[in-house]
C-alpha cells in the first residue's frame, strides 16, 4: 500500500552511487579515501568568523529569497565587471545544486530535451528526469573534450538546454576558450538555453578560466562557494543570467528552498575578499604529483582543473576494479556513477598528501596485478 503512494518521478533515478561508497567508508577501519568531492582544507578563519559574528548579532532569521543585499550587491558588481552584460541579474541559491534544481524547474518542461556531456556530474541526468525532461547524451570519450559537430547534430526542435561544466566533474577537463566560444555561439544561433556549471572555476591550473557567458549573454551561470572556500555544508550558491530567467528562478525558490541560510551568506560575503591562492596552488601540486606517479601505469586524460582524475580501469570494468581497490581499503568511485559506460574510475585528490601517497601505492600494486 505505502509503495503505491510514492510518486512515479522518484523511480526515474536510483540513489547516488557516491552515497553508497560513503556508507561503505564508514565500515572500514582505516580507509584511504580518494572518493569525496569536497576540499580537504577547512573553511578559512575569516569566513568562519564572519558567520559566527552574524549568528551572535542575531542574523538568524529568513533572508530575502534573492539573498542578503550586501552579498547580492557585491556579487552583482563582480559579475558586471567580468561580463559587462546589461541584462544580467544575480540570485543567491541554496548551494549550486539548489541552483541547478531551480534552473531545471524554471526552464525544462516535460518532453524537452537537455544535452549532457558524458561523463557528467551525477545530478545532471537525475534532475532532467525529475522535471520530465529527456537527457540526450553526447559522448566525450576518450579525451573528454566537446565534439561540437555532434552537439550541432543532436540539437532538434525539442532541445531546450545544453548543460556544460568546465572545469568538469568527474574528468577534470577544462574546455578551451575557442571551444566554449563556438558552443556559446551555436546555442545562441539555435535558440537553446546554455547553462554553465562553474562551481570549479577557481581551480583551472594551466590556463585562465573561460566562461561561455563571455560569448553568449543569455548563458545561465551556476556558481557558488562550496568548492572554492570549502563551504560545502553551508549551502550558498549563486546563479546569474538574464533577468527573466532569474526572476522565475527566484519565484520558485520562494516556494521551495525559501532562501540560503542567512549566517552562511554573511560568511560568503567575507569569502569574496578572502584569497584562496594557496589552496589552488596546493591542488595544482597534488594534481602534478598524482599524474606523474600514475601516468606510466594508467590511461587518462591529464586533468586541467577541479580535483579529479578519471582513469580507464585495467581490464575495462570500472566497478570490478573499484571493488578490488576497496579490498585494499582504497575508496574511489566507479565510472558508471557518472556515465552510461562502466570502463573508468574517478579518484579525488582533495586529500592530504600522505593519503594520496597511500592511494598511489595501492594503485601501483593493482596495476602490477593486472599486468601479470
What number is the average pLDDT over the span 133-140? 98
Helix (H) / strand (E) containing 136: strand 134-139
Is 305 in a helix, a strand, or coil? strand
| Grid cell of 38 as nine digits | 569536497
Stretch 61-71: mean pLDDT, rounded?
Answer: 98
> Domain map of the chain by residue range?
2-43+276-371, 61-271
Closest C-alpha among 78, 39, 7 to residue 234: 39
Q: What average pLDDT does range 88-113 have in this prediction?
A: 98
CATH class of the domain at 61-271: alpha beta
Q: What is the average pLDDT value for the chain, to the nearest integer?
A: 95
Nearest to 34 by CA among 328, 296, 235, 340: 328
pLDDT of residue 2: 82
pLDDT tens by residue, 119-130: 999 999 999 999
C-alpha cell at 178: 575557442
Percent of the chain whose pLDDT exceeds 90: 90
| CA atoms 334, 340, 342, 346: torsion sign | negative
pLDDT band of residue 162 (cuts 50, 70, 90) is very high
Residue 101: cis peptide before it, omega within 30 degrees of 0: no
Confidence of residue 24 (pLDDT cuts 50, 70, 90): low
Q: Quote the pTM value.
A: 0.94
Measured CA to CA, the distance from residue 220 to residue 233 in angstroms comes to: 24
Distances (CA, A) of 332 to 106, 128, 245: 34, 26, 37
pLDDT at 241 over 90: yes
What confidence tens digit (pLDDT) does each residue in 173-219 have?
999 999 999 999 999 999 999 999 999 999 999 999 999 999 999 99
What pLDDT, on the 0 to 100 scale, is given for residue 141?
Answer: 98
Q: Are strands 159-165 and 308-312 parallel, antiparallel or unpaired?
A: unpaired
The architecture CATH gives domain 2-43+276-371: Alpha-Beta Complex (3.90)
Amino acid at each position: 500500500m505505502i509503495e503505491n503512494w510514492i510518486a512515479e518521478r522518484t523511480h526515474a533515478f536510483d540513489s547516488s552511487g557516491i552515497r553508497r561508497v560513503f556508507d561503505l567508508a564508514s565500515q572500514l577501519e582505516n580507509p584511504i579515501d580518494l572518493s569525496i568531492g569536497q576540499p580537504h582544507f577547512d573553511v578559512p578563519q575569516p569566513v568562519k568568523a564572519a558567520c559566527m559574528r552574524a549568528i551572535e548579532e542575531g542574523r538568524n532569521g529568513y533572508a530575502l529569497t534573492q539573498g542578503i543585499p550586501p552579498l547580492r550587491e557585491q556579487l552583482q558588481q563582480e559579475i558586471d565587471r567580468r561580463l559587462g552584460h546589461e541584462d544580467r541579474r544575480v540570485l543567491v541559491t541554496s548551494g549550486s545544486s539548489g541552483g541547478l534544481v531551480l534552473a531545471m524547474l524554471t526552464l525544462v518542461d516535460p518532453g524537452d530535451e537537455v544535452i549532457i556531456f558524458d561523463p557528467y556530474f551525477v545530478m545532471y541526468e537525475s534532475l532532467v528526469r525529475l522535471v520530465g525532461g529527456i537527457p540526450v547524451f553526447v559522448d566525450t570519450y576518450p579525451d573528454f573534450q566537446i565534439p561540437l559537430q555532434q552537439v550541432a547534430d543532436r540539437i532538434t526542435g525539442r532541445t531546450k538546454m545544453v548543460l556544460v561544466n568546465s572545469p568538469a566533474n568527474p574528468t577534470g577537463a577544462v574546455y578551451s576558450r575557442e571551444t566554449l566560444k563556438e558552443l556559446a555561439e551555436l546555442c545562441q544561433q539555435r535558440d537553446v538555453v546554455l547553462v554553465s556549471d562553474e562551481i570549479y572555476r577557481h581551480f583551472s591550473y594551466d590556463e585562465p578560466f573561460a566562461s561561455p557567458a563571455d560569448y553568449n549573454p543569455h548563458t545561465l551561470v551556476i556558481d557558488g562557494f562550496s568548492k572554492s572556500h570549502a563551504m560545502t555544508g553551508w549551502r550558498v550558491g549563486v546563479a546569474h543570467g538574464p533577468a527573466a530567467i532569474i526572476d522565475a528562478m527566484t519565484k520558485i525558490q520562494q516556494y521551495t528552498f525559501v532562501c540560503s541560510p542567512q549566517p552562511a551568506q554573511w560568511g560568503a560575503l567575507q569569502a569574496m575578499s578572502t584569497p584562496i591562492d594557496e589552496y589552488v596552488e596546493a591542488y595544482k601540486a597534488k594534481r602534478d604529483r598524482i599524474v606523474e606517479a600514475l601516468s606510466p601505469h594508467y590511461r587518462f586524460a591529464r586533468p586541467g582543473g577541479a580535483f579529479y582524475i578519471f582513469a580507464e580501469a585495467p581490464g575495462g570494468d570500472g566497478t570490478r576494479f573499484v571493488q578490488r581497490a576497496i579490498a585494499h581499503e582504497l575508496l574511489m568511485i566507479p565510472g558508471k556513477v557518472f556515465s552510461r559506460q562502466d570502463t573508468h574510475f574517478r579518484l579525488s585528490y582533495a586529500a592530504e598528501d600522505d593519503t594520496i601517497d597511500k592511494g598511489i601505492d595501492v594503485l601501483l600494486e593493482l596495476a602490477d596485478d593486472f599486468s601479470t
